[in-house]
A and B are shown apart, each in its own frame.
Chain A
Amino acid sequence: MSARRLRMIALEALRILLLGAGAVVMLAPFVWMVATSLKSPSEIFAAGFSLWPEDFNAYANYARAFTEVPMLRFLLNGVIVCTGILFFQIVTAVPCAYALAKLGFRGGTIVFGMVLVGLMIPSHVPAIPLYLAFANLGLLNTYWALIIPSAVSVFAIFLFRQFFRSVPDDLINAARVDGLSEFSIVWRIVVPTAWPAITAFSIFSVVANWNDLFWPLIVLTDTALATPPLGILFFRDQEAGSDYGALMAGTTIITAPLVIVFLLAQRRFIEGITLSGVKG
């Protein structure tokens, strides 16, 4: 074996050692979370370090996580809120983006200017007036209070407009000659060409809203409506206390959906999340 080849192998070993050490730190919380969710209380409180449970207590832990708080309800709330928000965001952004990209209309420049200004405003900024409005309408502690503030996404309008601009004008003109209304052109001709953008945005939107704590914390006090992050806080503060096995079972349940989607569709997932060069 030549000296050069030996050096290559040494360098590769060093690379794997460094990356491996870092990966242990990155993955430790996940491994420890799942390991603890399988352990009995006596083992969790015992001194010393063991990864694999000696007496397997997973059933009791997960059963408590599902029964002491409405864990399935939290997940369902998350699904309802994320789906609702995504539905409104797509339904409002797609036609607007098409109009901005392909139709000249009075005020288009102003609308696009609003989109660009909106991109710079974090979602926390309008919180006080929105809270006031929902309180006055008697809508606090409803799904609407969670969904409506995110019903329009300036980021979606911006992104879709970029995509729609590359749809050939000939395609649209041909559809017009065939007698399609602009409304049908949007949904039947333009949208099918923009699936990559819509998929990426959908992942971005669902991840952001599934994980959001700020707004649910403001408008919800009703445990039954809690989104997953708020639900895990309720569980920690009211039920679990120092019942770490059940608490870690709960965090595993809340984290699992997104992590599973990520592991199954890594490339799309990463594209969706890192889309947020502007908004994050």
Chain B
Amino acid sequence: MADPAPAISAVPAKQVLKQAAPRNEPSGGKARLRDRLAGIALATPATALMLALLIGPTLAVGFLSLTDWGFGARSFAFIGLDNYAEMAGDPVFRRSLINTLVYVGVVMPVSVALALAVALLIQGGRFGRTFFRTAYFLPVASTLVAMATVWQFMLHPNLGLVNEMLRLVGLAGPNWLTDRGLVLFTLAGIGIWETIGYNMILFLAGLMAIPGHLYEAAEVDGAHRPLDKFLTVTWPMLGPTTLFVIVITAIRSFRVFESVAVLTQGGPGNASQVLLFTMYRESFVYFRAGYGAALTIVFLAFILILTLIQIRVIDRRVHYA
């Protein structure tokens, strides 16, 4: 694989912003006018749709979050920040925010570390490179809802493969998806399974970008053992990639929804309630649009913070490379 690095990640954000104005100003007033009219005509459909489907509704969510409106209600009142105040005292919201952070806190470090290990092992020898890359990437390429259904069957307390295997070695397997203390970590395990392949590809791209002469130089300087080479060349050169993968994984796992919707519906109790699922339930099951909008804004705020960190990381990554 030549260069599987994400196209966007290679572009520093500041540079993109500077490029905003096109370079080529065609000469001659007539041509320029024609260009401008054509530009407006060509950009209008997409711009109108962006306003109608993305920017407008996002602003509307912000407005709705300040009202007590529910779907189907004939009127609504402007209640200021009451929805946010309610959230602060809502144990379900607090539970789901903590759960989301715990989920991210487990999935992010484990999937990044394992993906790095897998990428190093794949890169470290000749045999089976393509096979292993395919095997580890397969979960990323499959439909998560379908595979979550398979996991549900595999984690079945009596019939499931996982507990069957545990019985073979004499262990009594737990109720993976109905044990309050365990369920969130079971979901995190599925999240890790689903994320490793994606991160592995990003690490493989980072590894391939390390110039071979650095290893030769390290060898000359006395780094013969694989561990020495890793510590003197690979790890420092891979630092920016690692930062990038960490932030990307945080953003992706913060959006956990499918596995919760398919496997637990936030239960048992609220033991696996996560932010996006709470927002879905309040908005589209209980039809509390105002409160749902406020939850959406909180979700968006977290994503924006992580995205701003990501933009800074991309800038640094290019600076290093």
Residue A241 at the chain B interface, CB threshold 8 Å: no
Asked if residues A93 and B161 are in contact (CB atoms below 8 Å), the reply is no
Residue B87 at the chain A interface, CB threshold 8 Å: no
Residue B286 at the chain A interface, CB threshold 8 Å: no
Say which residue of A100, A213, A247, A280 sits within 8 Å of B251 (CB atoms): A280
Given the complex of chains A and B, what is the CA–CA distance between A151 and B1 in angstroms?
Answer: 32
Q: Interface with A: B46-54, B94-102, B179-187, B208-216, which one? A: B46-54
CB distance from B204 to the nearest CB of A (A): 10
Given the complex of chains A and B, what is the CA–CA distance between A121 and B255 in angstroms?
Answer: 12
Q: Which of B71, B127, B146 has the most CB of A within 10 A?
A: B146
Asked if residues A23 and B132 are in contact (CB atoms below 8 Å), the reply is yes
Residue A233 at the chain B interface, CB threshold 8 Å: yes
Residue B315 at the chain A interface, CB threshold 8 Å: no
Q: Interface with A: B77-85, B150-158, B232-240, which one? A: B150-158
A102-B43 in contact given A36-B153, A151-B49 (Cβ < 8 Å): no
Residue A72 at the chain B interface, CB threshold 8 Å: no
A122-B255 in contact given A36-B153, A103-B38, A152-B50 (Cβ < 8 Å): yes
User: Restricting to B244-282, which residues have a CB under 8 Å from any CB of A?
Assistant: 244, 248, 251-252, 255, 257-258, 261-262, 276, 279-280
Given the complex of chains A and B, what is the CA–CA distance between A236 and B148 in angstroms?
Answer: 12
Given the complex of chains A and B, what is the CA–CA distance between A140 and B300 in angstroms?
Answer: 25
Asked if residues A277 and B8 are in contact (CB atoms below 8 Å), the reply is yes
Q: Residues of B contacting A45 with CB < 8 Å?
A: 159
* Chain A residue at smallest Cβ distance from B131: A23
Say which residue of A15, A23, A232, A258 sits within 8 Å of B136 (CB atoms): A23
Secondary structure dominating the interface of A: helix
Say which residue of A11, A113, A233 sits within 8 Å of B145 (CB atoms): A233
A270-B201 in contact given A28-B154, A128-B283, A244-B159 (Cβ < 8 Å): yes
Asked if residues B137 and A270 are in contact (CB atoms below 8 Å), the reply is yes
Q: Residues of A contacting B89 with CB < 8 Å?
A: none
B 1-37 to A, binary, CB cutoff 8 A, 1 in contact else 0: 1001111110100001101111011100000101111
Q: Residues of A contacting B276 with CB < 8 Å?
A: 124, 214
Q: Interface with A: B55-63, B103-111, B170-178, which one? A: B55-63
Say which residue of B8, B122, B262 sits within 8 Å of A159 (CB atoms): B8
Asked if residues B284 and A228 are in contact (CB atoms below 8 Å), the reply is no
Q: Residues of B contacting A275 with CB < 8 Å?
A: 6-8
Q: Which of B6, B16, B19, B145 has the most CB of A within 10 A?
A: B145
Asked if residues A26 and B303 are in contact (CB atoms below 8 Å), the reply is no
Say which residue of A15, A248, A263, A276 sits within 8 Å of B124 (CB atoms): A15
Given the complex of chains A and B, what is the CA–CA distance between A262 and B24 in angstroms?
Answer: 40
Q: Residues of A contacting B39 with CB < 8 Å?
A: 99, 103-105, 108
Given the complex of chains A and B, what is the CA–CA distance between A148 and B276 in angstroms?
Answer: 22
CB distance from A237 to the nearest CB of B (A): 10
Q: Residues of B contacting A99 with CB < 8 Å?
A: 38-40, 42-43
Q: Residues of A contacting B146 with CB < 8 Å?
A: 228-229, 232, 250-251, 254-255
Q: Residues of B contacting A108 with CB < 8 Å?
A: 20-22, 39, 43
User: Restricting to A223-256, which residues have a CB under 8 Å from any CB of B?
Assistant: 228-230, 232-233, 236, 244, 247-248, 250-251, 254-255
Residue B321 at the chain A interface, CB threshold 8 Å: no
CB distance from A279 to the nearest CB of B (A): 8
Given the complex of chains A and B, what is the CA–CA distance between A120 and B134 in angstroms?
Answer: 30
Q: Residues of A contacting B218 with CB < 8 Å?
A: none
Asked if residues A157 and B46 are in contact (CB atoms below 8 Å), the reply is yes
Q: Residues of B contacting A197 with CB < 8 Å?
A: 7
B 138-151 to A, binary, CB cutoff 8 A, 1 in contact else 0: 11111111110111
A214-B257 in contact given A29-B150, A32-B154, A182-B38 (Cβ < 8 Å): yes
CB distance from B115 to the nearest CB of A (A): 11
Given the complex of chains A and B, what is the CA–CA distance between A98 and B89 in angstroms?
Answer: 50
Asked if residues A128 and B292 are in contact (CB atoms below 8 Å), the reply is yes
* Chain B residue at smallest Cβ distance from A33: B150
CB distance from A167 to the nearest CB of B (A): 11
Say which residue of A12, A135, A154 sits within 8 Å of B71 (CB atoms): A135
Residue B222 at the chain A interface, CB threshold 8 Å: no
A 92-118 to B, binary, CB cutoff 8 A, 1 in contact else 0: 110110111111111111011111111
Asked if residues A23 and B135 are in contact (CB atoms below 8 Å), the reply is yes
Residue A193 at the chain B interface, CB threshold 8 Å: no
A-B pairs with beta carbons under 8 Å apart, 21 shown: A16-B128, A18-B121, A26-B196, A104-B35, A104-B39, A105-B40, A111-B46, A120-B307, A122-B300, A124-B257, A129-B64, A131-B71, A152-B46, A197-B7, A214-B257, A214-B280, A229-B144, A229-B146, A270-B1, A274-B201, A277-B9
Taking A15-B125, A29-B147, A277-B244 as given, write out 6 further A-B residue pairs in contact, using a Cβ cutoff of 8 Å, ordered by the A residue number: A19-B122, A104-B35, A197-B7, A214-B258, A254-B145, A269-B141
